[in-house]
Structure 1
Amino acid sequence: MSTSTSASRPDGQPFNRRVHVVAAVLDRPEELDLLQQVCDAMGWPLREPLAGETTVTTDTGWTLRVIEVRIRGVRETAVEQAVATLDTLAQNAELSLHCRDATLVERVHRPQIEWHLRGRRGPVSLRLHHALHVATRTGEHDPHAGTVRLVRVPARLDEPQARRLARTRRAARAELSHHPLVLRRLDPDVHEIGRPSASRGWHALAFLTLVVTAAAICLLGAGLWPTFGADSPRVGGPLVVLVAGYLLGGTYLAVRRTPTHRALPWLVPLAVPLAVPLVPWLGTLVQRAYLSPFGVLLAPGKDGLGDIQAGLWVLCVFVAASLLPVAYLGWMRFLAPSLRVQGPWLSWAPAVTLGIGMGMVFSLLILQTAARNGTEHRALALAGRDISEYFGVSAEYACLEPTSSEAPYYGTPPPHDHPVVIFGQSGDRVEFWDPATSRKTSIRLEDARIRVVPHSGSPCAKAAR
């Protein structure tokens, strides 16, 4: 009895390891039929052993079958996992089956060198004429433009590179000289033979855009856009369009025709509600980092437009930095289709891991920038200059007058002869920072009278009485 299944099934489970198992099964029609059903449900090919494939022998009444067990697992334990999975299925189905031999199947890699048959590049006017006809689909385009055929020649890595290229080029020329389609035969007057070099200019432009985008995100995280005039709409507008176009376009090219692309219609609406509480929380982290040089805690009830702006700053930088490697992956795959499966650097795992790591690093850079701005504003206060508002956190100069000489306070005594810096009240207390001592102090609201003054040099004569 011969049994077989197709090599791939639409309902088969995804796999990354293949194990050939030689199994002994009771030679009865119902047992063989049950084994066929189990393998069909899992999408595993099942067949009789080939001639000379195995030396395993069976007792009378038993027969051998070769099962290709396809599983997801690591290479070191794939054989044990495959045998255990098959044993579990046989036990659950009450199937008389015993594994006799199991072998890990690995892909046979043959080094090959790829040669392309291309039409010779003509003048720019002819190329524009060709592109116009391709876009309008008139059928009058140049049939030899671009790569029209490719061949791959087996290569030997033990020979010098120059000799290997020369030998494979001669073999490729011989193969390209024959084809049933006349237009795809090598014509030295029309065609040229070359290695995959698709769009080196576009590759250079994609990499240059990557560098510009990364620099823009870094400058945005460091808060240096105003330094280079990017806060102006004339400069910042085109820069934002360039960065957004590169990131969104590259990400779309990376996820199209993938399960992620099919999931985006419901992933994006799900992410928007999650960002609503996340943005104020991120803004609060920025405000706290800004106040850390003063040693003052963020006053509660400060939610407003400032912390939302700060939270959007962090979120935008994190998302942009996270998408940057993925976008570059998409552009490279689009511009160089032959590199789609060559090398681990064009796979998902390094791009996503690097993107998340860059997002976290750039987010920490924002917090470091906020702390640096707080240090700069602290120096302004020490110099007696006014402090501007920072994402909803506004510093005010105020004179404090304790209600009595025994009024309790935490920290150094409140000064009477010069104003202090306050950032709002925290519950029933007010925290302030004294520029003269560079220390913070807090006092209950009921134990002090607070009078806001316009400048750091304003007199506190009334408070001194």
Structure 2
Amino acid sequence: MITPSSSPGPDRQSPSPQPDPGPAGPAGLPFNRRVHVVTAVLDRPEELDLLQQICEAMGWPLREPLAGETAVTVDAGWRLRVIEVRIRGVRETAVEQAVSTLDTLAQNAELSLSCRDAALVERVHQPQIEWHLRGRRRTVGRRIRHALHTAARTGDHDPHAGTVRLVRVPAELDEPRPRRLARTRRAARAELAHHSLPLRRLDPEIHEVGGPSVSRGWHALAFVALVFTATVICLLGAGLWPAIGADSPRIGAPLIVLTGGYLLGGALLAVRRTPTHRALPWLVPLAVPLAVPLVPWLGALVQRAYLSPFGVRPTPASDGLGNVQAGLWVLCVFVASALLPVAYLGWMRFLAPSLRVRGPWLSWAPAMTLGIGMGMVFDLLILHTAANSGAENRALAAAGRDIPDYFGVSAEYACVEPTSREAPYYGTPPSHGSPVVIFGQSGDRVEYWDPAAGRKTSIRLEDARIRVVPHSDSACAEADR
């Protein structure tokens, strides 16, 4: 512990350094950057007192420079003070932002203060290896009794079960790993052998020294659940649920429950105790109204991809329940894909508490970014699946077979006869001997796909007589009677 020097006398105005309340301490605002600023303040009691009040209001530590800390000198009548400015900002501009913030506060308070030197505080990371002192593994019966006593709070549980103490030993990364592990293990055993608590001292007959306890079984289960959920989402995006029988409620319902439980549970575990967790009660109700106009638009994209092999466009009559189902298909796959990495991160952090502070890559924001990218890829897979379904149904129509409905897109078969030889049309000439495929009309025109020619044609309703027939193999001659 470093004890600040104190000099008696009335000229000392700044208090001794106080303990850091933490990034979210009650005395100041949340921060993620710290900047040490060497300032020169006018050596008058009221100026020093005003500076102290400003720093206390902002939650910034204020002290005198330590011996040999700075080479900055000031004129007579001025004093040096070191302020730790705590702000929220990016690393590249944190120093400029801190100095600008301090200058603004001094100007608003008419404080005679000038910043002389500023430097960003870098976190000093010392490599360490963690060793745990835990009780030796007991028989299955002993472990079951211990679990029962612990759950019943009888006080008769095994006091040496699990990790009872851990130490972290500084490590040198430039030495070989086996030597580093052996050296730190000896140092850890030496520290664990001497302790004031009798039950927490190393006893070779009771305790063993090892690395952090990792539940490999639970971690393997979380990874298997990740692969299972990703497979379910992929099958859903590729439209292969009927191929595995998941369109049946007896199979599809358990899959949805397991997938939803894994995604929602893991996502909540990942964002808990974060600002996002506190914002969820109003973020979710805000997202639901936004999805109302989004679902039909996504459904129209699926229908358009399905009709692209036919060369026609969706008609307003295709809006309905099928359009909503297609939009929900796209939206559910996107949300599930976006939550998949976040859910896996949440389960891993829950199963391994030591992973919570091991780096920014374990935060949920990068995982959400990865998930959004995966969601876009899976949505492109859905559109590709819809286009493939359209190509397959086009082949059915060319073979003279009926086309099934596809998310609100219903095919009709009709015989088209122009009212005159001069009737204008776009595409191939209208067929006279076989029915064409119509997916609805748009305004005063109708677009249809001719299986015989393999191309689409567009014609005005007033320039053609259209007679609907029940099947694609119906004869147009009989329909004309």
Q: For the residues of structure 2 that align with 1:138 and 1:308, how far apart are their CA atoms?
A: 57
Q: For the residues of structure 1 that align with 2:27 and 2:372, how far apart are their CA atoms?
A: 33
The AA in structure 2 aligned to 1:404 is: S
The AA in structure 2 aligned to 1:372 is: N
Aligned with 1:397 (options 372, 395, 413): 413
Q: Residue 154 of structure 1 aligns with which residue?
A: 170
Report whether the alignment pairs 1:423 with 2:439.
Answer: yes
The AA in structure 2 aligned to 1:105 is: V
Q: Residue 299 of structure 1 aligns with which residue?
A: 315
Q: Which moved more, 1:153-162 or 1:48-57?
A: 48-57
Report whether the alignment pairs 1:455 with 2:471.
Answer: yes
Report whether the alignment pairs 1:24 with 2:40.
Answer: yes
CA contact (8 A) 1:300 1:427 kept: no
The C-alpha deviation readout for 1:226-272, integer Å capped at 9, x for no partner, is 21222223332222222111111111111111111111111111211
Q: For the residues of structure 1 that align with 2:317 and 2:27, how far apart are their CA atoms?
A: 55
User: SS in structure 1 opposite 2:115?
Assistant: strand
CA positional deviation for 1:461:
0.8
Q: For the residues of structure 1 that align with 2:298 and 2:150, how far apart are their CA atoms?
A: 49
Q: For the residues of structure 2 that align with 1:92 and 1:258, how far apart are their CA atoms?
A: 34
Q: Residue 370 of structure 1 aligns with which residue?
A: 386
The C-alpha deviation readout for 1:387-418, integer Å capped at 9, x for no partner, is 10000101111111222333222222211111
Q: Residue 60 of structure 1 aligns with which residue?
A: 76
Q: For the residues of structure 2 that align with 1:370 and 1:456, how far apart are their CA atoms?
A: 22
- The change in CA–CA distance for 1:328 and 1:28 in structure 2 (over 3 A counts) is same
Q: Residue 329 of structure 1 aligns with which residue?
A: 345
CA positional deviation for 1:11:
4.9
Q: Residue 39 of structure 1 aligns with which residue?
A: 55
- The change in CA–CA distance for 1:427 and 1:128 in structure 2 (over 3 A counts) is farther
CA positional deviation for 1:356:
1.0
Q: For the residues of structure 2 that align with 1:448 and 1:241, how far apart are their CA atoms?
A: 53
- The change in CA–CA distance for 1:448 and 1:20 in structure 2 (over 3 A counts) is same
Q: Residue 237 of structure 1 aligns with which residue?
A: 253
Q: For the residues of structure 1 that align with 2:373 and 2:172, how far apart are their CA atoms?
A: 39
CA positional deviation for 1:348:
2.7
Aligned with 1:3 (options 2, 14, 36): 14
| Pairing of 1:128-167 with structure 2 (within 5 A) | 128-167=144-183
- The change in CA–CA distance for 1:198 and 1:394 in structure 2 (over 3 A counts) is same
Q: Residue 211 of structure 2 aligns with which residue?
A: 195
User: SS in structure 2 opposite 1:49?
Assistant: coil
User: SS in structure 2 opposite 1:416?
Assistant: coil
Q: Residue 98 of structure 1 aligns with which residue?
A: 114
Q: Residue 141 of structure 2 aligns with which residue?
A: 125
The C-alpha deviation readout for 1:182-214, integer Å capped at 9, x for no partner, is 222222222211111320111111111111111
Report whether the alignment pairs 1:439 with 2:450.
Answer: no
The AA in structure 1 aligned to 2:14 is: T
The AA in structure 1 aligned to 2:92 is: E
CA positional deviation for 1:223:
0.7
Q: Residue 4 of structure 2 aligns with which residue?
A: none
Q: For the residues of structure 2 that align with 1:372 and 1:11, how far apart are their CA atoms?
A: 61
Q: Residue 274 of structure 2 aligns with which residue?
A: 258
Q: Residue 7 of structure 2 aligns with which residue?
A: none
The AA in structure 2 aligned to 1:353 is: T
The C-alpha deviation readout for 1:93-113, integer Å capped at 9, x for no partner, is 221111111122111111100
Q: For the residues of structure 1 that align with 2:384 and 2:438, how far apart are their CA atoms?
A: 22
CA contact (8 A) 2:271 2:364 kept: no
Report whether the alignment pairs 1:183 with 2:199.
Answer: yes
Q: For the residues of structure 2 that align with 1:379 and 1:59, how far apart are their CA atoms?
A: 91
Aligned with 1:309 (options 309, 318, 325): 325
The AA in structure 2 aligned to 1:42 is: M
Instruction: Return the TM-score normalized by structure 1.
Output: 0.96
Structure 1 stretches of at least 4 aligned residues deviating more than 4 Å after TM superposition? 462-465
User: SS in structure 2 opposite 1:340?
Assistant: helix
Aligned with 1:342 (options 335, 355, 358): 358
User: SS in structure 1 opposite 2:93?
Assistant: helix
- The change in CA–CA distance for 1:265 and 1:349 in structure 2 (over 3 A counts) is closer
- The change in CA–CA distance for 1:345 and 1:91 in structure 2 (over 3 A counts) is same
Q: For the residues of structure 1 that align with 2:452 and 2:374, how far apart are their CA atoms?
A: 41
Q: For the residues of structure 1 that align with 2:52 and 2:118, how far apart are their CA atoms?
A: 19
Q: Residue 239 of structure 2 aligns with which residue?
A: 223
Q: For the residues of structure 2 that align with 1:332 and 1:283, how far apart are their CA atoms?
A: 35
Instruction: Return the TM-score normalized by structure 2.
Output: 0.93
Q: Residue 81 of structure 1 aligns with which residue?
A: 97
Report whether the alignment pairs 1:279 with 2:295.
Answer: yes
| Equivalences, count | 465
Unaligned runs of 5+ in 1: none
CA contact (8 A) 1:2 1:47 kept: no
Q: Which moved more, 1:161-170 or 1:181-190?
A: 181-190
Q: Which moved more, 1:240-249 or 1:132-141?
A: 132-141
CA positional deviation for 1:123:
2.6
Q: For the residues of structure 1 that align with 2:258 and 2:137, how far apart are their CA atoms?
A: 30
User: SS in structure 1 opposite 2:452?
Assistant: coil
The C-alpha deviation readout for 1:411-455, integer Å capped at 9, x for no partner, is 222111110000011112111011111111111222222222122
The AA in structure 1 aligned to 2:186 is: R
User: SS in structure 2 opposite 1:76?
Assistant: coil
Q: Residue 351 of structure 1 aligns with which residue?
A: 367
The AA in structure 1 aligned to 2:390 is: G
User: SS in structure 2 opposite 1:301?
Assistant: helix
Unaligned runs of 5+ in 2: 1-11
The C-alpha deviation readout for 1:21-74, integer Å capped at 9, x for no partner, is 110001112212222232223221111112222222211111111001122333
Q: For the residues of structure 2 that align with 1:27 and 1:51, how far apart are their CA atoms?
A: 19
Query: Aligned-pair RMSD on alpha carbons?
Result: 1.7
